Amino acid sequence: MLAELRRLVEEYPLWQRFRGQFMLALYRSGRRVEALAAYAALRGRLGDGYAIEPGAALQLLHHRILHDDVSLHAWAGPPVLLPHDVTDFTGRQDLLDQAIGAQVVLHGPAGVGSRQHPAGDPPLPARPPPGCARPRTAPQ
């Protein structure tokens, strides 16, 4: 994304919206000094060529970056818990093989696997997506 924004800023050096998006992307990438330098470059170009300052929105973004405003940090949302790993169906592999694809009612005392769906949870990726966690309930 940074490469594309950099290209747009170079192709349209006076378009402040592109410059602001580029500055924000730099800042969120941990490149605060470069974000501030991008503002300074535009400010110098506008001042030298047109005797004007950047617009209010870009000035505000510059101020917020300068003061490390935490509201600018990217927020991925709350973590998502995925179903726990199924390590065993309490020794009932033969019954499990019969139950796959059939309608089954499980009954039994607590702690012997009657609560776990016989087919297991839907297939999960090998690694959870970023921001997701899978609780571990069995020893690895």
- By residue count, the chain amounts to 140
- 3-state DSSP assignment of residue 98: helix
Please give the model's pTM, rounded to 2 decimal places.
0.55
| Residue 35: count of CB within 10 angstroms of its CB | 25
97 DSSP 8-state letter? H
Q: Which of 118, 46, 49 is nearest to 88 (CA)?
A: 118
So what's the pLDDT on residue 97?
73
Contacts of 41 (CB under 8 A, 6+ apart): none
Residues β-bridged to residue 81: 133
Domain coordinates in residue numbering, the chain: 2-72, 76-140
Q: What class, spelled out in words, does domain 2-72 have in CATH?
A: mainly alpha
Per-residue pLDDT of the chain (140 residues; tens, 9 = 90+): 899 999 999 999 999 999 999 999 999 999 999 999 999 999 999 999 999 999 999 999 999 999 999 999 987 677 776 666 665 556 667 776 776 766 556 566 666 655 555 555 555 556 666 666 656 655 55
129 DSSP 8-state letter? P
Burial class (CB in 10 A: 0-12, 13-18, 19+), 110: exposed
So what's the pLDDT on residue 123?
56
So what's the pLDDT on residue 62?
98
